[in-house]
């Protein structure tokens, strides 16, 4: 006999709530609304709720036009009031899961959200967690909290984990076109979770448990972090051997099997790759095991901003300058090209280190007009010949597509290029990783 929740999914009469309206939650709310569901977005940040309610997008991958259209058709609304959960059938949790200063997981936002869900949990609801976390969170932390309501999982309510796979700024893949992983506490949970996501997403892959789903996300990002750590070390090795690492990577990439190119850079950034492997490493420490590959990759990747600062020091020394009083122009502070996200960006560590060494730091990033550091705020400066010529050193941190590289090379006194944007220029004033 078909479950009533399955019928609501197939008839699009199911009502959805998305908790957390950041880089994951807002695009997800729009995706389900565009699929024909009634969606309510919930966030404790009243400014986000006010902006979204006015149809003003604060997420680069979400257009205000599409947001306004869904609001006008009453498919989408926003609130700070968790009482809205009383009237929904499916709840998706997309709250932040950062690291503490000790590099341990901070799941306080998940706990806070699930406590609100428990207060409004009723029979027939589906609850999905998308926030990246360590294996065991769903069944060890969330399940006991929800069953404390007196309702039984797999019978009265249904619980799944489905990791977000957002790639900000990716023009080829979005939520709808990126395959979705779903794992439930019970078989019924998985089946309903799969049916729910299939109503809005092109391909859904069911796995045997929430732990498998949680581990899948950590494997994806740990794979990237470890390989980036490897290629960053290769870049350092190549410099010591006086070999162009970029040429080596290009040559190796011609092999049609057994090699996947990764590129060196100034360090890891973004919420996922810079954070997620630490969740897995922490979990293993509780089991008296050291994740050595993860720890080593993290050590190399976190050292890269300091390596870049050393490279800037070398570039200045070539001009008989030191940090004290030198003007350093940083090009790009977002953690990746053509987006505005500065979370965990290596540019933050590089700029802080330069300021500590008494350099005068200015930056340009059209995607990030204001950069808030611990003790000061910097504003993006418009690029001009005068700005480039006034800098003792120009440092390319983010390879935004709007940068006119030939012009920059022509105007700058010296350049430290961490992204190989100046490939093909053999000028002695250019210092690369």
Question: In the prediction, which pLDDT does 1 show?
Answer: 58
Average pLDDT of the chain, as a whole number: 95
Phi and psi at residue 75, in whole multiples of 5°?
A: -85, -20
- Segment 109-124 shows an average pLDDT of 97
Locate the domains of the chain by residue range. Answer: 4-207, 225-432
Q: What is the pLDDT of residue 428?
A: 85
- Can you tell me the mean pLDDT for 241-259? 96
Average pLDDT over residues 364-376: 92
Q: Do 4-207 and 225-432 come out as alike in CATH topology? A: yes
> Is pLDDT at 167 greater than 90 in this prediction?
no
Domain spanning 225-432, CATH architecture:
3-Layer(aba) Sandwich (3.40)
Mean pLDDT calculated for residue range 308-325: 94
- Write down the pLDDT at residue 168: 83
pLDDT of residue 207: 98
Q: Which of 308, 333, 335, 336 is nearest to 393 (CA)?
A: 308
Question: What pLDDT score was predicted for residue 170?
Answer: 86
Which of the residues 109, 238, 272, 393 is marked catalytic? Answer: 272
Average pLDDT over residues 282-302: 94
Neighbours of 8 (CB within 10 A): 19
CA–CA separation, 300 and 287 (whole Å): 24
The helix-helix angle for 292-317 and 346-356 (nearest 10°) equals 50
- Give the chain's end-to-end CA distance (angstroms, integer): 62
Q: With cut-offs at 50, 70 and 90, classify the pLDDT of residue 384.
A: very high
Q: Would residue 272 show up in a list of annotated catalytic residues for this protein?
A: yes
- The second-level CATH assignment, the architecture, of 4-207 is 3-Layer(aba) Sandwich (3.40)
**Cβ–Cβ under 8 Å, residues 339 and 412:** no
pLDDT above 70 coverage of the chain, percent: 100
Question: For 13-25, what is each residue's pLDDT tens digit?
Answer: 999 999 999 999 9
Residue 60: CB atoms within 10 Å: 15
For 214-243, what is each residue's pLDDT tens digit? 999 999 999 999 999 999 999 999 999 999
389 dihedral zone (left: phi>0; alpha: psi -120 to 50; beta): alpha
Give residues with Cβ within 8 angstroms of 6, minimum separation 6. 191, 192, 195
Alpha-helical (H) ranges within 253-338 are 276-285, 292-317
For residue 402, the 8-state DSSP code is T
| Mean pLDDT calculated for residue range 87-104 | 92
Q: CA separation (Å) from 89 to 122, 142, 185? A: 9, 18, 18
DSSP helix/strand/coil, 102: coil
pTM, two decimal places: 0.92
Is the pLDDT confidence value at 374 over 80? Answer: no
């Amino acid at each position: 006999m078909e479950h009533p929740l399955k019928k609501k999914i197939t008839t699009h009469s199911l009502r959805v709530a998305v908790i957390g309206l950041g880089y994951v939650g807002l695009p997800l709310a729009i995706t389900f609304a565009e699929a024909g569901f009634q969606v309510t977005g919930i966030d404790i940040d009243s400014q986000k709720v006010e902006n979204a309610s006015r149809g003003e997008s604060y997420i680069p991958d979400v257009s205000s036009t599409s947001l306004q259209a869904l609001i006008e058709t009453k498919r989408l609304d926003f609130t700070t009031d968790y009482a809205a959960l009383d009237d929904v059938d499916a709840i998706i949790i997309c709250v932040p899961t950062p690291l503490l200063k000790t590099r341990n997981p901070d799941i306080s936002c998940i706990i806070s959200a699930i406590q609100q869900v428990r207060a409004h949990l009723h029979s027939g609801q589906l609850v999905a967690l998308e926030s990246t976390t360590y294996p065991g969170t769903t069944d060890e932390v969330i399940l006991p909290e929800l069953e404390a309501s007196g309702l039984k999982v797999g019978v009265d309510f249904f619980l799944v984990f489905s990791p977000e796979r957002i790639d900000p700024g990716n023009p080829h893949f979005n939520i709808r076109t990126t395959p979705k992983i779903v794992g439930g506490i019970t078989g019924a949970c998985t089946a309903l979770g799969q049916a729910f996501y299939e109503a809005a997403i092109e391909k859904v892959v069911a796995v045997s448990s929430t732990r498998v789903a949680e581990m899948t996300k950590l494997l994806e990002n740990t794979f990237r972090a470890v390989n980036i750590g490897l290629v960053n070390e290769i870049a350092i090795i190549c410099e010591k051997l006086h070999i162009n690492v970029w040429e080596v990577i290009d040559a190796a990439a011609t092999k049609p099997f057994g090699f996947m190119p990764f590129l060196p850079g100034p360090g890891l950034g973004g919420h996922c790759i810079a954070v997620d492997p630490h969740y897995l490493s922490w979990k293993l420490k509780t089991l008296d095991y050291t994740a050595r590959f993860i720890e080593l990759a993290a050590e190399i990747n976190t050292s890269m901003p300091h390596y870049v600062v050393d490279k800037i020091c070398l570039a200045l020394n070539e001009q008989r300058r030191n940090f004290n009083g030198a003007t350093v122009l940083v090009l790009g502070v977002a953690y990746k090209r053509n987006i505005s996200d500065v979370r965990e960006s290596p540019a933050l560590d590089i700029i802080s280190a330069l300021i500590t060494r008494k350099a005068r730091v200015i930056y340009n990033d059209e995607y990030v007009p204001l950069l808030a550091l611990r003790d000061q705020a910097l504003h993006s400066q418009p690029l001009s010949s005068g700005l480039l010529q006034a800098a003792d050193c120009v440092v390319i941190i983010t390879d935004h597509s709007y940068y006119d590289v030939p012009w920059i090379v022509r105007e700058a006194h010296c350049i430290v290029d961490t992204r190989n944007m100046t490939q093909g220029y053999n000028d002695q004033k250019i210092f690369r990783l």
